[in-house]
Amino acid sequence: MASVSDWIEGARLRTLPAAAAPVIVGSAAAYHLAGFDPLRACLALVVALALQVGVNYANDYSDGIRGTDDNRQGPARLTGGGLARPKAVLGAALGCFALAGVVGLALVAVSGTWWLIAAGAGAVAAAWLYTGGKHPYAYMGIGLSELMVFVFFGLMACVGTSWTQVRQAPWWLWASASALGLLSVALLMANNIRDIPTDRLSGKMTAAVRLGDRASRWVFAACAWVPVAVLAAVGTSVGLQPLATCALAVGAGVWAAGVSLPVLTGASGKALIGVLRNTGFYTLAWGVLAALALVLS
């Protein structure tokens, strides 16, 4: 029987900072546009976190029953490691999706943004079909996984959060959302670089497997560094003082260097677990820095 710590590990808490960052930036954008609503921001945060945990449990279940996680190098999974019954893990995933759905409906109701129901349904479908179903797109290696992460954990999460509070979406908000999407792609890429040997053996042809180890590491670095330039552009565009903009960009650059250096110098296997954690915190740090630029300008 899985312990509480096993379930917590299965939730992959290291990915939650990346889920919270788009809500922080989207809410800061609403504040900058004079439309911040704390209740709607909190509801959006619950939706984002519930979806992320649901995705993690769903991937645990689907990869586990396929045998993909039988020889993984990272922490043991609930299903693949035999720590919990597959139906229990599936139930946890569905419970998280249900929570996200209920809270999401409440957010839609108070904000009047009914079109977001379709976007939310699309997010849940993308989360399940990532490794679930007969033809999971995570196994195709055609970039669809990275695209879905970019769209749902970057664009939709950030712009959608802001839109529930204020009906404006200037270009700098889309740029910020794109930067967060790239950081989510970096998180996925770090995970897949670590699993290249075992994924190749199990037939899980991720983009990292198809690109190869070296090229995948450069893709990770690009996804980590482009947001630094975006932060500088956003700070300048919203009227932040040049010195403050420079300081925020330097702070983001320090984080980008910290996560990209071990990847570019060949960190592999379990050494990439720390990179995963730090990339999640970098995403959160980027979100906080971008929020500061919006709130202080």
- pLDDT tens string 272-290: 989 999 999 999 999 999 9
State the residue range of the domain holding 228: 4-296
Q: Distance (Å, rounded) from C-alpha 27 to C-alpha 33?
A: 10
Span 67-91, average pLDDT: 79
Contact, 60 vs 79, CB < 8 A?
yes
- 3-state SS of 49-98? HHHHHHHHHHHHHHHHHHCCCCCCCCCCCCCCCCCCCHHHHHHHHHHHHH
Q: What is the DSSP letter of 36?
A: -
Span 23-49, average pLDDT: 97
Q: CB within 8 A of 231, min separation 6: which ones?
A: 179, 248, 249, 252, 286, 289, 290, 293
Higher pLDDT, 1 or 143: 143
Span 227-240, average pLDDT: 96
Task: Report the share of the chain in percent with pLDDT over 90.
Answer: 75
Tokens encoding 53: 């945990």
For the CA atoms of 25, 26, 29, 30, what is the dihedral angle to 10 degrees?
-140
Q: CB within 8 A of 99, min separation 6: which ones?
A: 46, 50, 54
Confidence bin at 142 (pLDDT 50/70/90): confident
| Chain position carrying tokens 């202080």 | 296
Per-residue pLDDT of 164-210, as tens digits, reads 999 999 999 999 999 999 999 999 999 999 989 888 887 888 999 99
pLDDT at 71: 61
Structurally, the chain folds into a number of domains equal to: 1
The predicted model scores a pTM of 0.93
Q: Does 73 have pLDDT greater than 70?
A: no
pLDDT at 45: 97
| Chain position carrying tokens 């976190």 | 49
Q: Does 80 have pLDDT greater than 70?
A: yes
pLDDT at 2: 77
Span 102-109, average pLDDT: 96
Confidence bin at 97 (pLDDT 50/70/90): very high
pLDDT at 33: 96
Contact, 56 vs 187, CB < 8 A?
no
- 3-state SS of 142-200? CCHHHHHHHHHHHHHHHHHHHHCCCCCCCHHHHHHHHHHHHHHHHHHHHHHHHCHHHHH
Helix orientation angle between 271-296 and 213-237, rounded to the nearest 10 degrees: 10
Confidence bin at 67 (pLDDT 50/70/90): confident
Q: CB within 8 A of 198, min separation 6: which ones?
A: 68, 71, 72, 73
Identify which of 136, 3, 122, 5 has the alpha carbon closest to the alpha carbon of residue 61.
Answer: 136
Q: CB within 8 A of 128, min separation 6: which ones?
A: 58, 97
Identify residue 9 by its one-letter amino acid code: E
On average, the pLDDT of the chain sits at 92
